[in-house]
Amino acid sequence: MAANRFSQGSGPSQRQLRVGELIRRTLSDVLNRAEVHDPDLNRMSITVGEVRTSPDLKVATAYVLPLGGQGAEEALKALRRNSGELRHHVAKAMTLKYAPQLRFQIDETFDRLDDTRRMFADERVQRDIAKGREDDADGDQDPDAE
The answer to whether residues 101 and 127 belong to one domain is: no
The answer to whether residues 57 and 32 belong to one domain is: yes
The answer to whether residues 83 and 112 belong to one domain is: no
The answer to whether residues 83 and 113 belong to one domain is: no
pTM of the model: 0.70
Q: Is residue 145 part of a domain?
A: no
For residue 67, what pLDDT is reported? Answer: 86
Contact, 79 vs 63, CB < 8 A?
Answer: no
**What is d(CA 116, CA 41) in angstroms, rounded to the nearest whole number?**
31
For residue 25, what pLDDT is reported? Answer: 96
Q: How many domains does the chain have?
A: 2
Q: Is residue 146 part of a domain?
A: no
The answer to whether residues 87 and 129 belong to one domain is: no
The answer to whether residues 16 and 42 belong to one domain is: yes
Tell how strand 46-53 and strand 59-66 pair up.
Answer: antiparallel
Residue 63 has φ and ψ, to the nearest 5°, of -100, 115
The answer to whether residues 118 and 101 belong to one domain is: no
Contact, 76 vs 115, CB < 8 A?
Answer: no
Q: What's the number of CA atoms in the CB half-sphere (13 Å) around residue 24?
A: 19
Q: Is residue 143 part of a domain?
A: no
For residue 92, what pLDDT is reported? Answer: 92
For residue 10, what pLDDT is reported? Answer: 78
For residue 141, what pLDDT is reported? Answer: 54
The answer to whether residues 123 and 55 belong to one domain is: no
Angle of helix 83-93 relative to helix 14-32, nearest 10 degrees?
A: 120
For residue 5, what pLDDT is reported? Answer: 42
For residue 142, what pLDDT is reported? Answer: 52
For residue 114, what pLDDT is reported? Answer: 59
Domain that holds residue 134: 108-138
Taking the chain (146 residues) in consecutive chunks of 10 residues, what is each chunk's mean pLDDT? 50 93 96 94 93 95 90 94 96 87 89 64 75 70 51
